[in-house]
Amino acid sequence: MKALRIAGVLLVAAVGAWLGIFLSGTVRAQIGPVETGMTLRPAWQGETVVDASPLGTLSFRTHSAPLRLRVTLENIDQERARMYLEDPRLADRLPDLIVSDLRDGVQALVIRSLLCAGSGALIAVLMVFRRPMYSFVGLTASAVALAGTGAAAALTFRPQSLVEPRYTGLIAAAPSLIGSAETIVTRFESYRGQLTKLVANVSKLYDTMSGLPVYDADPTSIRVLHISDIHLNPLAWDVVRSLKDQFNVDLIVDTGDITDHGSKPENYITDDIGKLGVPYVFVRGNHDSKLTERAVARHKNAVVLDDRMETVAGLRIYGLGDPRFTPDKTTYENNDPGYLLRYGQEHAVRLEQTPDLVAVHDPGVGQGFSGLTHMVLAGHGHNRWTKVWPSGTRVLTQGSTGGAGLRALEHEEPTAVQASVLYFDKETHRLQAWDDVTLGGLGEQSINIRRHVEPDPARMILPEPTNAPSPTGTITGATTPTSTSLWHQGQSSPMLQRSPTEGVGNRMRILSPHRLAA
């Protein structure tokens, strides 16, 4: 009889605890910029459910204890979300903030559920048996049961379940629409491998074709690979490595915007710099931060130039970081051409030596050095162009070696991947010629290598007139290339077509119409 009474007390306590948890309500929690509601319910199988109404739900078999954690996405604080996106310091802290907010929310939910379950068990036993002693037994039993359930949930937690969600509702179409991560990675790696081979093979062909180049590069010349605006595209490193090896370059000059927001999580993009095996000269772009500079500088072969000059591979190079930091919306960003020109001029007048080469991010800043050096390298516009200023200084503005990063997805046609190889005389340190390399954007397999010869490498450099206009971006130059086109279709043999000589340059183009599936 006593055993039956104890069993009855435990049963009533369990029912009371269940009702207490059920009636405990929802705990509101701010997780980063997302406002959520959290509830804990008894269930036959343990799981975590993320309710993204009206799109549907995602379910995760996170634990084996008979509890269901439901997280409802109720609202997004747009102001807070914008703050996280625009402030790199907050973006760096976002992962830790989310973990902290989630932990606080779950702790509040657990405490609330325990109190409600205990109260439910106590009240239920007291109402049925009307004896305080039985109520105490029921409360103790429910507390032990809940503690055991919580311990079971913690011990059986499976982190790998977070990458294996079950979809319900409209969101169930997501995997079929975007494809699995494994398929996407496989296709990207296939494109990466084919494009790298294409660069290597065409570069070798270009190097060995006698009669094609008007300028025969001196083996002792200093070869500089100019890249810019990688914008977090890891594919750029495959291109850089291939061009570095095939053209046997002596150093690489990166004119900035290696990242998008200059935040700490983006520093992974600099990891490949230390594997290149040649000096890597870097100047900060308007999307790079001082944090980015330090991440680049950690590599032994890196030379970070920010208002300083250093001799690298025989060339005296001066570099100046961009005066703006575009992601920081809390400060005024001055894009006035006059301001950029004056910024360059203010630093140019302080130079104690004449540089062989000046590297900046914006050509507007570079014009401040016009007449003080024979060569300025820049980037910023994602559109390659060159011109000779009235002073005799040539500016070469590079396109995007990263195909403008994720910006490449904003247009119908993929953004081209661009870089240039420059040949400097070892004795005079003057530019003799340069090769512009253009590769098809994401999903395309094409390459265009175009050689330009500097018509007057020894020209005089004169001070720039004070009323000189800022660069317009018009593609002009002192060379009109001769075109020699090489067409490659599929696996067929290439055909060589020569056109009459029109100038002092030459061009080779390899095209393949095949595209990889996106």
Phi, psi of 120, rounded to the nearest 5 degrees: -65, -45
Q: 15 or 174: which carries more pLDDT confidence?
A: 15
CA-closest candidate to residue 418, choices 444, 438, 447 = 438
Tokens of 178: 């975007």
CB neighbours of 425 closer than 8 A, spacing ≥ 6? 218, 221, 222, 432, 457
pLDDT of 275 higher than 70: yes
pLDDT of 272 higher than 60: yes
pLDDT of 479 higher than 50: no
Which residue carries 């050096």 as its tokens? 373
Identify the weakest region by mean pLDDT among 178-182, 285-289, 331-335: 178-182
Confidence (pTM): 0.58
Per the CB < 8 A criterion, the answer to whether 471 and 448 are in contact is no
Per the CB < 8 A criterion, the answer to whether 92 and 98 are in contact is no
Q: Which pLDDT tens digit goes with each residue over 96-130?
A: 676 677 778 778 878 888 788 778 777 877 777 77
Looking at residue 183, the DSSP 8-state letter turns out to be H
pLDDT of residue 490: 29
Tokens of 117: 């379950």
pLDDT of residue 35: 82
Q: Report the share of the chain in percent with pLDDT over 70.
A: 67
CA-closest candidate to residue 376, choices 334, 422, 326, 311 = 422
219 SS3 class: coil
Domains of the chain (ranges plus CATH)? 2-178 (no CATH), 181-459+476-515 (3.60.21.10)
Helix (H) or strand (E) holding 317: strand 315-319
pLDDT averaged over every residue in the chain = 76
Fill in the amino acid letter for 55.
Answer: L
pLDDT of residue 495: 29
pLDDT of 238 higher than 60: yes
pLDDT mean over 316-334: 90
Q: 187 or 324: which carries more pLDDT confidence?
A: 324
pLDDT of residue 388: 96
pLDDT of residue 298: 96
Q: Which pLDDT tens digit goes with each residue over 128-147?
A: 777 777 666 766 777 777 77
DSSP assignment string, 192-205: HHHHHHHHHHHHHH
Which residue carries 């325990």 as its tokens? 114
pLDDT of 321 higher than 70: yes
pLDDT of residue 91: 60
Per the CB < 8 A criterion, the answer to whether 224 and 435 are in contact is no
122 SS3 class: helix
Separation between Cα atoms, residue 433 and residue 252, nearest integer Å: 16
Q: How confident is the model at residue 8 (pLDDT cuts 50, 70, 90)?
A: confident
Torsion of CA 369, 370, 374, 376, to 10 degrees: 60
pLDDT of 347 higher than 70: yes
pLDDT of 466 higher than 60: no
Most confident of 130-139, 176-185, 358-367, 464-473: 358-367
CA-closest candidate to residue 447, choices 222, 233, 206 = 206
Q: 449 or 320: which carries more pLDDT confidence?
A: 320
Identify the weakest region by mean pLDDT among 41-55, 195-209, 394-408: 195-209
pLDDT of 28 higher than 70: yes
